[in-house]
Structure 1
Amino acid sequence: MKLNLFKRSMIFATFFGSCLCIALIVASLGTTHWVDARARRLSNPTESEGRISFGLFEGRKELNFAYGWRNYDLSVKAGTHPARRWSWCGTAAQLAVALAASGGACVLAALGSAARNRCSPKPLLICNCAIILFTMGAMSVWLTEFFLRLQHNVMSDEDLANTWSSDSTADLGLSFWLVVTACISAFVNNVCILIAMADGRDADTIAPALEEKVNGAIMLY
């Protein structure tokens, strides 16, 4: 009961897709561009300017009061992160599960493509489904926070008191779209797995027919 070359190739292709998922999720967790925003002071909008970028755990805020730039660090530890605790915690937790599922998918893809005997690709399919589920969950949590809060304001109470505003200037940054790409990669993996599962040209179906022909030839002699 051996796998044919086509099935091995399709399963092995998911190994690279799973590695890509790992790289994308790790990059999204480590970069600080989940949201990029601009800011102005309502009291002097033509002379002031601000740039804010942050990830799930930290970020950076640069404000120009018309007499030079001032840089500030945004951090979860310091309590200066613009997003609320439930949003970055929920997003990070689901990405951690998706990362673990990606690692499992890598191992299963390597073992499945290297195994001489046929093994069920269902565990591999389940791992990739988990990646899709939890990356979509992470995106949903972050999008909820973005549309409810972050697109309207990423400034601190002190900045708001100084008439700074970022209303309608925030955009989803590169880090967020890395997660979207990881979700798409896992979906492509599932397509490859389903194609491999649907292909019926296993060696174990070919071998009995060949054996029957050989036995028939022997009987003729």
Structure 2
Amino acid sequence: MKLNLFKRSMIFATFFGSCLCIALIVASLGTTHWIDARARRTSNPMESEGRISFGLFEGHKEINFGYGWRNHDFSVKAGTHPARRWAWLGTASQLAVALASSGGACVLAALASAARARSSPKPILACNCATVLFTIGAMAVWLTEYFLRLQHNVMSEEDLANTWSSDGTADLGLSFWLIVAASITAFINNVCVLVAMADGRDVDTIAPALEEKVNGAIMLY
């Protein structure tokens, strides 16, 4: 049984949606703006200034003690990340699963839209549901850590020893919102798949009905 053009188009649309999900998740993992914060020294707040931004793996810090800016790029991982180990691992691992499920949805959508025979869109739906689930899970873990810790402090122990403070200055950056966009895109993919599943018309279900009517007309003659 062959899929009609509408079903094939809806499923093929999810291929582009899954590609967009992959791009958004990869961009969020590769950029350094999960958190953007400002900092000052409590000992001389009027003369000092700092800017810190970091992602899940790398970060950038600009600090001015009062006599010029100093720029530092730094690598971060579990154990040295401003976020605690459980938050870093929870966010990174869930995004890895979301990336894999988006890749699976992409491949399945391409195969289903190209196949001549009818194929079930349920595996595509399952992959996109997994993408939504794990992106939401990653956002929940990161938001929990943000409200419990990161909005109060993103400074290293060395910076804290030098009386630097970022209390109340940290904001969620672009990298985080890319995950929000990926989750919304995967949800839209699910809507497209459900619409395709709700449309019960298929090429081969219409043709036999027409053929039966023709045969009945011939027998009357």
Q: What is the aligned residue count?
A: 221
Q: Deviations over 1:132-172 (max 9, x none)?
A: 01111111111111111100000112212222110110000
Give the corresponding residue for 2:115. 115
Q: Relative to 1, partners in 2 of residues 1:183 and 1:78: Cα closer, same or farther, differing over 3 Å?
A: closer
Give the corresponding residue for 1:4. 4
Q: Relative to 1, partners in 2 of residues 1:135 and 1:53: Cα closer, same or farther, differing over 3 Å?
A: same
Give the corresponding residue for 2:98. 98
Which amino acid letter does the alignment assign opposite residue 182 of structure 2?
Answer: A
Q: Relative to 1, partners in 2 of residues 1:40 and 1:85: Cα closer, same or farther, differing over 3 Å?
A: same
Which amino acid letter does the alignment assign opposite residue 171 of structure 2?
Answer: D
Moved more, 73-82 or 56-65: 73-82
Unaligned runs of 5+ in 2: none
Give the corresponding residue for 1:176. 176
CA contact (8 A) 2:3 2:202 kept: yes
CA contact (8 A) 1:74 1:80 kept: no
- The separation in 2 between residues aligned to 1:157 and 1:38, in whole angstroms, is 16
Which amino acid letter does the alignment assign opposite residue 74 of structure 1?
Answer: F
CA root-mean-square deviation: 1.4
- The separation in 2 between residues aligned to 1:191 and 1:44, in whole angstroms, is 55
SS at match of 1:167: coil
Task: Write the mapping of 1:16-165 to structure 2, written as runs, cut at 5 A.
Answer: 16-76=16-76, 80-165=80-165
Structure 1 length as normaliser, TM-score?
Answer: 0.96
Which amino acid letter does the alignment assign opposite residue 97 of structure 2?
Answer: V
Give the corresponding residue for 1:204. 204
Q: Relative to 1, partners in 2 of residues 1:140 and 1:75: Cα closer, same or farther, differing over 3 Å?
A: same
- The separation in 2 between residues aligned to 1:120 and 1:218, in whole angstroms, is 36
SS at match of 1:63: strand
Q: Deviations over 1:5-48 (max 9, x none)?
A: 00000000000000000000011111111000000111221211
- The separation in 2 between residues aligned to 1:213 and 1:115, in whole angstroms, is 29
Q: CA deviation at 1:73?
A: 3.0
Give percent identity, aligned residues only.
86
- The separation in 1 between residues aligned to 2:90 and 2:78, in whole angstroms, is 19
SS at match of 2:61: strand
Give the corresponding residue for 2:185. 185
Give the corresponding residue for 1:166. 166
Unaligned runs of 5+ in 1: none
SS at match of 1:37: strand
